[in-house]
Amino acid sequence: MGKPTGFLEFERQKVKDRLPLERLKDFGEFLVPLKDAERRNQGARCMDCGVPFCQSSYGCPVDNLIPEWNDLVYRGQDEEAFRRLRKTNNFPEFTGRVCPAPCETACVLGVTSPAVTIKDNEAWIIDNAYEKGWMVPRPPQVRTKKKVAVIGSGPAGLAAADQLNQAGHSVTVFERADRVGGLLMYGIPNMKLEKSLVDRRVKILKDEGVVFKTGVWVGRDVKASDLDRDFDAILVATGATRPRDLTVPGRQFKGVHFAMDFLTANTKSLLDSNLKDGKYISAAGKKVIVIGGGDTGNDCLGTSLRHGCSSLDNFEVLPQPSEGRTEEFPWPTYPRLFKADYGHSEAVARFGKDPRTYSISTKEFLGNEKGELTGLVTVDVSWTKDEKGAWKMAEVPGSERTWQADLVFLALGFLGPEEELVKELGLEQDPRSNVKAAYGQFKTNNPKVFSAGDARRGQSLVVWAIQEGRGAAREIDKYLRT
């Protein structure tokens, strides 16, 4: 695949970023695409590796035909590359920007050399398809008389809606927010995923016949029993939206917020008024601490910096990852590695240091007589393995520190779907409180109700949500045709 000697001739070249201090002035996308000739060279680096682990279970959850479209990019067969990409991925314009790219960590070339730029190639293919006019609505020619309700318009719900609509079923998507997209719209900041890209794709779905009802909270505005009466099948794709809290003394002080409340309000205000309405949590001039070292925590860093925070720290209870693979993460598994994401790089440019502190745990929030947050107390922790190989955490004696803070954002992950709808539908839950529905079948204990995405599997990646939405659509289609 690609040029036989391409991986020897061309160096890995990722998309360029606007300079950190420049991009901190706005919330616009900061990636600058390569020139077409440069992109074709990146396609040429794909090897004829025999077993493409990039599209295996270790790599791409949606089984993208990666070597095929890399080869087509190299050969200039751009429209065919787009057709091959569309066969497996409903939303490559999203995954090509926000996916952590397990395909690249499973790339065979990556064993000895920098991996192929699979993620960037994917984004280029779909962006080029929009530019050339190939990405257009494809309404189904034949309609069944079956109606499906999809609850939630995140990546799982949208993928299922797309697949079911293409199969000819009439699909209505219910979204409690004022805009379609779920996590894609309000959970991911604009500089990482331009909301115009989400709107553009949703418009195509609308033109293809998918009906969207925004501002409708199923279980409150519409009874679940009404959906059960009016639709032939229901898909619960509400996501895992219950945030994990940090229940330490002082949690009640004003200034401690869940990360998603911060990010959601910021994006909504940005879209509604370019932040002029003031309906968001402003970090301007504030001492900010973000607790949690994942993607959501990083997004809080980038957003706080764009507001103009006066200081910024990021706490992670786990130890600092290795910069290379360890025995714990052999190839081609997805490794936990130390890397600088966009928010970390921007913090270094703004304050001259990496904001992250590892192996640290928050013990208490501090406040004043007005109930306002003023700081917090932490303790260092150490990690060791017991005789069974399980990691154990212990506090380091005498390591307590006090930090000043005006705002703290909790980015500690999510515990599962909100249970109001789950209980109203009478759905069983697994031990982790997710909707109980076997993978591959997606069926709940209610014969006409299915579940997919984070609501079923727990907090995960956008690409896994798409895979689950496609799988659930397949099973719903089977159910409707029997």
Q: Is residue 283 a part of any domain in this protein?
A: yes
**Would you say residue 140 lies in a domain?**
no
Q: How far apart are CA 201 and CA 140, in angstroms?
A: 17
When pLDDT is averaged across residues 95-119 and rounded to a whole number, the result is 96
Instruction: Provide the 10 A C-beta neighbour count for residue 383.
Output: 13
- On the question of pLDDT at 463 being above 80, the answer is yes
Question: Which tokens go with 54?
Answer: 């990039």
Q: Kindly report, residue by residue over 35-72, the tens digit of the pLDDT.
A: 999 999 999 999 989 899 999 889 999 999 999 999 99
- Domain assignment present for 246: no
CB 410: neighbour CB atoms within 10 A? 25
Q: Is residue 139 part of a domain?
A: no
User: Residue 273 domain-assigned?
Assistant: yes
- CA distances 337 to 114, 263, 319, 323, Å, are 15, 25, 11, 5
Q: Residue 193 is part of a domain; what is its CATH number?
A: 3.50.50.60
Q: Which two tokens stand for residue 448?
A: 């006409």
Q: Where are the beta strands (DSSP E) in 136-272?
A: 147-151, 170-175, 211-214, 233-236, 256-258
User: How many whole angstroms separate alpha carbon 457 and alpha carbon 469?
Assistant: 12
Q: Collapsing DSSP states into helix, strand and coil, what is residue 254? A: strand
H/E stretch holding 464 reads helix 462-481
Rounded to the nearest 10 degrees, the angle between the axes of helix 78-86 and helix 118-132 is 110
Q: pLDDT tens-digit profile of 300-341?
A: 999 999 999 999 999 999 999 999 999 889 999 999 999 999
pLDDT score for 57: 86
Mean of all residue pLDDT scores within the chain: 96
- Residue 389: the pLDDT is 83
Would the pLDDT of 1 be above 80? no
363 and 286 inside one domain: yes
> What total number of domains does the chain contain?
3
* Sign of the four-CA dihedral 192, 292, 453, 426: negative
Domain limit, last residue, from 364, 381, 410: 410
pLDDT at site 202: 98
For the cut 90, the answer to whether the pLDDT of residue 383 exceeds it is: yes
Q: Whole-structure pTM over 0.85, yes or no?
A: yes
Spatial separation of the C-alpha atoms in residues 16 and 155, rounded to whole Å: 27
| Dihedrals phi, psi of 235, to nearest 5 degrees | -115, 125
Q: Which residue has the tokens 């996916």?
A: 99
The answer on 192 and 99 residing in a single domain is: no
Domain end point (choices 363, 393, 410)? 410
Q: Which of 117, 127, 116, 60 is nearest to 92 (CA)?
A: 127
Domain region containing 328: 256-410
Asked, for residue 137, whether it belongs to a domain, the answer is: no
